[in-house]
Amino acid sequence: MIRIDREKCNLCRNCVDICHTACMSVCGDELTIDYPLCSTCCQCIAVCPRGALSWDGAEPRELKGIETATYQQLVGLLKARRTTRRFKDMAVEREKLEKLCRTVKLAPTNIYDLEVIVVGDKAVIDELGEMGRKGIRRMYWLFYRNPLGFAFLKRFGRFSRAVNDIDRRKVFNSIEKGSTNLHGAPVLIMLTGDPWIGFARISAHYALYNMILTAQALGLGSCISGNSTIFFGRNKRARELLGIPGDRSILAVLEVGYPAVRFRHSVEGNYPAVRWI
């Protein structure tokens, strides 16, 4: 909730002008907020010249003095980052994990009631990994091995381009290798929330990418575990292990650890088609 320090507020109207939901207004000699309309984007706090606004009591910080990356530094970080699918059997320091978690609050959409679950218990991760392995097998037998299921997906518009014989071989090879969806990561970071809250999933993935870039800067590897939201989300045992109540869902999962391989080259993707209008 946005708080107003009325002793500091001089009714400059900067907050009123920038508010995209028109929830702020000046009535007489007082600034008012229509809280049901507020999206907590915090733009008002960012533009207030007197620091009269705060969010849930957290005082705003002056941008002056905060170091920002140059364009070259940012591009360098992006080029160096690669998805890690092989991790060392090595614990990650609590201090580094706390730094990753702190970047969640910097997500553009103000995290929308997200909760972060950091899983470092090997027994729990191993059990979740076995669930993932079974999930991959189940998916293969249901949609790829089963001729009817495979034909259905190929004809269904949403999946037709993604489901093909090459894709089927990839899943089969993954099963043959005994792969799990967790790649032996020593730590899992899960973001949970109420999926019915607007922008909750988008907010979770914004937060996830903050952690991915931070992990890179800290010498850690990471991998988005896309299938985990499916394999664990409705699994009663997984939810019990993770202590997730019934009104919350797993919105995003990140595998974290020290890379077991050294990436020696930057490999850039194809430049996207750009249309200027």
Indicate the residue type of 54.
S
The pair of structure tokens assigned to 68 is 């920002």
Measure the N-to-C terminal CA separation of the chain; round to a whole number of Å: 40
Residues paired with 118 in a beta bridge: 189
Which value, to the nearest 10 degrees, does the dihedral of the CA atoms of residues 172, 174, 177, 183 take?
A: -170
pTM of the model: 0.83
Backbone angles phi and psi of 175, in degrees to 5: -65, -45
Concatenate the DSSP letters of all residues of 158-200 into one string: TTTTT-SHHHHHHHHHHHHTT--TTTT-SEEEEEEE-TTSTTH
The pair of structure tokens assigned to 120 is 């470092």
Residue 195: its pLDDT value, please?
A: 84
The SS3 call for residue 272 is coil
The total of other beta-carbon atoms located within 10 Å of residue 77's CB is 14
Pairing mode, if any, of strands 53-55 and 115-119? Answer: unpaired
Inter-residue contact 135 to 227 (CB < 8 Å): yes
Inter-residue contact 216 to 256 (CB < 8 Å): no
Indicate the residue type of 125.
I
Residues paired with 191 in a beta bridge: 116, 252
pLDDT tens digits in sequence order for the chain, 277 residues long? 889 999 999 999 999 999 999 999 999 899 999 999 988 888 999 999 999 999 876 777 787 777 888 999 999 999 999 999 999 999 999 999 999 999 998 887 655 688 999 999 999 999 998 888 887 777 777 767 777 777 776 676 555 565 667 777 776 677 666 666 788 899 999 999 988 877 888 889 999 999 999 999 999 999 999 888 888 888 899 999 999 998 899 999 999 999 999 988 888 888 889 999 9
The total of other beta-carbon atoms located within 10 Å of residue 127's CB is 14
